Amino acid sequence: MLNVALCFHVHQPYRLGHIRVYDRTACGEIFDDALNRAMVERVTRVCYLPAGELFCSLIERYGPDFKIALSITGTVVEQLRDWAPEAREQFRKLAGTGSLEFIGETYYHSLFSLFDREEFVEQVHMHLEMLKDEYDLTPQVFRNTELLYDDRVSDYLSAMGQFRVVLCEDAAAGCAISGRPCRSYNERHMLLPRNHVLTDDIAFRFQDREWSEYPLTAEKFTARLERYYEEGGHDHDRFLLLYMDYETLGEHILSDSGIFQFFEHLAEIILLHDSMRFVWPSEVRSCNMETLEKLFVKHPVSWADSKKDHGAWLSSDLQRNAMGTLLEMVSRIRSQGDADLLETVRRLSSSDHFYCMFPWKGDADAEVHRHFSSYGSPEDAYVRYLNALTVLEQHLE
Amino acid sequence: MPRAASFRVLTLTWEFPPLIVGGLGMACYGLVRAMLEMGVQVVLVLPSRKPVFFELSDVSHADQLDPAILDPDLKRGYGMARFGNTLDRFRFLEVLCPPVAYSPGALTPGMYRSQIESILPHVDFDVIHAHDWLTYEAGLYGKGVTGKPLVCHVHSTEYDRACGAGDQRIHQVERMGLETADRVVTVSRFTADRVRDCYSIDPGRIRVVHNAYFMEYPEPSRGRLFREPVVLFMGRMTCQKGPDIFLEVARRVLIRHRMVRFLMAGEGDMMDRLVHRSAHSSLGNRVLFTGFLNREGVSRILAVSDILLAPSITDPFNITVLEAMSRGLVAVVSRRSGVTEVVRHILTADYWDVEDMAGMILSLLKNPGKRRRMGELAKQEAERIHWHDRALKMRELYGELVC
């Protein structure tokens, strides 16, 4: 059987406003509320509502056989609460169907697994609480920000006891064995690697006119799934993790390209297929842990950029100095204990801020960074960011 | 022969508040206001694709900027439209925000000249006063047609702005203007020497009229942004102003003394490079950028800063130094700045001697008493500098030409 785990990631950061550091800005004015609201309202209209409707109808049609998993950050849930209550309601409705599995992560979509265990664990706890409050659910599966994984992630999670399965990028496992879960080096977690090729067929190549499979249909994609399954020698426990941004539906890929119909049709074909079915990532636990390969991951691997490491956030001078300043500010604010400042600095810890500081000129990766930035340039993003941290520091003094 | 007090001056400039890029706008504004105060009348021409100018006879007109519009349709449209502020009105009249010369779509001397061609038959004046090279060709045209004397005012030369050889086309315009003008006015002796040496202008035709300053916004109460004192860079982030030198001084100071912040206010072609360099030095948020500041922003940032570091490589004047002094800042200024000719209570250094400047900053940081005393003296000195005195000199000069 080919076990298809279809996962989506839902996230919106708090984008920064024009901050006048010489003007004693109030903490609340660091973020561009008008812009954030407009972004959330837009993505609600083009993605969250229509995608939610699609999945609700599929769940209604196919019952418990249709399964998806969602990772949803605290920062997007907060913004939906403030600006798009209808979208928030719909996520809760989806959660109530029982067909959704929720995945744990850091509340703020941050990079602390690389730097600060205490803050990382705290943010994971905050996210667990949010899932409990918002959806009354407790996850068993964890994904770190942008699938960033190294052995430390498993170590840090072990102490929490909560999680059994951690999702990672197939590059972390050596792509050759993707489709088989692994064990973390400390044997505390099962690791389920994402299949980046088949995911990108949808998330990146769906609209690529140069691609031989264009236009991608559910039939063609299923044929690719079959080939993938056969390559594995009809392995009994072959898993396939397809994991992409939820915003792929309707936002990254516009609805008139047929992306919604694609998923609708794909669900139908997979559910009618003799050797395919939908699973949740947690079902990987049916595997015998003892038989799985033990995976040592010394250097961080993520799903971002072609290098698939932490370079998307931490390779340039701008990014490194910004991170150094953030870490200093987090530890100062934490030791001082002001709850409002702590909340703001945590919003500033979202990886998106660093992502926008990546150089825009160069290769295809650079183009992706440019596309997803809401600022005028990487330098603009950096200047605003440092000023934002400085405003916090002013309030600290 | 007109009485001195009733001179009418055709003033040509491409920068005037609210259109501000650098010092030219504020210098023209200060001078025009002071001349209006002493009864000189000004016909102000700002770059536009439309036949528009401004007749100013009272000091309030320098802010009101009510246009004289020659095109009847445009005039009717203007009368019926509602505007939020002067910039809105300027946009309607296509009064252009000054662009970089010779870049695509930019203002050129030729465009400015054709504007003068359409205006000239409708205005009456005694003398033409052309500010900086973009307007020289128009000034020459006006002189040729009317026979009225031409004053070319040098706020900076291409040699200053380019930090090197510069653009040959601009050199030519500058040379032609300065050679033909009846008088050449420079904003400092430093610039007078440059005009003499680089363009072989007869020193007998050159007059120095130093800049002054004008703060439109009342002084806000002084405040602190940080526990640490603030060292400020303020101006265009372009080679001429030495923003990279500022950054290097900042780095050297911070190695030895962490209790200080460096603020860089303004924008310009070197901005991105400076941002990267500051990040590369891992100075955390000890070095911060504010982006472009409007005049109110200037006033506010001066109220929270302690030291101005102005390490210009070559600066005909640098009005910012006077503005900073007037708000009690201690200024560390490059010797190659015209402003050093008119004030004593500043610290001066060679622009290349970053170690010397770092030492001065460190000593000011470690000695707040000295800093306060110097700031107080600087403020008193700046308060004695007025555009009125500069305008008197200008009027005297007009008198020489018109008699």
From the list A183, A175, A131, A184, the residue with the least C-alpha distance to A153 is: A184
Does residue A322 have a pLDDT over 70?
A: yes
What percent of chain A is predicted at pLDDT more than 90?
83
A325 touches chain B (CB under 8 A): yes
A315 touches chain B (CB under 8 A): no
Q: Do B301 and A393 touch (CB under 8 A)?
A: no
Does residue A33 have a pLDDT over 50?
A: yes
Q: Which residues of B touch A316 (CB under 8 A)?
A: 279
Mean pLDDT, residues A160-172: 93
Mean pLDDT, residues A81-88: 98
Q: Do A382 and B279 touch (CB under 8 A)?
A: yes
User: From first to last of its 403 residues, what are the pLDDT tens digits of chain B?
Assistant: 445 557 999 999 989 998 887 789 999 999 999 999 999 999 999 988 889 999 999 999 999 999 999 999 999 999 999 998 998 999 999 887 665 556 666 778 888 898 999 999 999 999 999 999 999 999 999 999 999 999 999 999 999 988 878 889 999 999 999 999 999 999 999 999 999 999 999 999 999 999 999 998 999 988 888 999 999 999 999 999 999 999 999 999 999 999 999 999 999 999 999 999 999 998 889 999 999 898 899 999 999 999 999 999 999 999 999 999 999 999 999 999 999 999 999 999 999 999 999 999 999 999 999 999 999 999 999 999 999 999 999 999 999 998 7
Contact status, residue A239 vs residue A192, Cβ threshold 8 Å: yes
Please provide the average confidence, as pLDDT, over all residues in chain A.
93
Residues A51-78 have pLDDT tens digits of 999 999 999 999 999 999 999 999 999 9
Within 13 Å, how many C-alpha atoms sit on residue A202's CB side? 32
Residues A200-230 have pLDDT tens digits of 999 999 999 999 999 999 999 999 999 988 8
Q: Do strands A165-169 and A190-194 pair parallel, antiparallel, or not at all (unpaired)?
A: parallel
For A24, nearest residue in chain B (alpha carbons): B225
Tell me how close the Cα of A384 comes to any Cα of chain B, in angstroms. Answer: 9
Q: Which residue has the tokens 């209570």?
A: B345
Length of chain B measured in residues: 403
B63-80 b/e with 16+ CB inside 10 Å = b? eebebebeeeebeeebee
A72 touches chain B (CB under 8 A): no
Strand, coil or helix: what is A256?
A: helix
Would the pTM of this model clear 0.80, i.e. be above it? Answer: yes
Does residue A342 have a pLDDT over 80?
A: yes
- For chain B, positions 261-290, list CB contacts with chain A under 8 A: 263, 265, 271-272, 275-276, 278-280, 282-285, 288-290
> Tokens representing B205?
């035709």
Contact status, residue A117 vs residue A158, Cβ threshold 8 Å: no
User: Mutation test of the interface with chain B: which of A16, A20, A22, A375, choosing the one with the most B Cβ atoms within 10 A?
Assistant: A22
User: What one-character DSSP code corresponds to residue B332?
Assistant: E
User: What one-character DSSP code corresponds to residue B198?
Assistant: H
Rounded CA-CA distance B178/B205 in Å is 9
Q: Which stretch of A127-131, A147-151, B70-74, B96-100 has the lowest confidence by average pLDDT? A: B96-100
Other beta carbons within 10 Å of B210: 20
The CA R_g of chain B, rounded to the nearest whole Å, is 22
For residue B284, give the nearest of A316, A317, A321 by CB distance: A321
Q: Do A393 and B226 touch (CB under 8 A)?
A: yes
Rounded CA-CA distance A370/A340 in Å is 31
Q: How far is CA B214 from CA A42, B21, B24, B28, B233, in A?
A: 47, 16, 13, 11, 19
Annotate B95-115 with DSSP letters as a single string. BPPP--TTSTT---HHHHHHH
State the pLDDT at residue A22: 82
Tell me how close the Cα of B37 comes to any Cα of chain A, in angstroms. Answer: 34
Rounded CA-CA distance A243/A47 in Å is 16
Rounded CA-CA distance A103/A124 in Å is 11
pLDDT class of A231 with cuts at 50, 70, 90: confident
Residues A241-260 have pLDDT tens digits of 999 999 999 999 999 999 99
Which stretches within B343-386 are classed as H helix?
Answer: 354-366, 368-383
Global ipTM = 0.88
B87 touches chain A (CB under 8 A): no
Q: Which residues of A touch B263 (CB under 8 A)?
A: 21-22
Cα pseudo-dihedral B215, B30, B372, A23, rounded to 10: 30
From the list B310, B316, B313, the residue with the least C-alpha distance to B378 is: B310
Q: Which residues of A touch B290 (CB under 8 A)?
A: 20-22, 387
User: Mutation test of the interface with chain B: which of A386, A387, A394, choosing the one with the most B Cβ atoms within 10 A?
Assistant: A386
Q: Do A24 and B283 touch (CB under 8 A)?
A: no
Catalytic positions of A are: 146
> Tokens representing A181?
């879960």
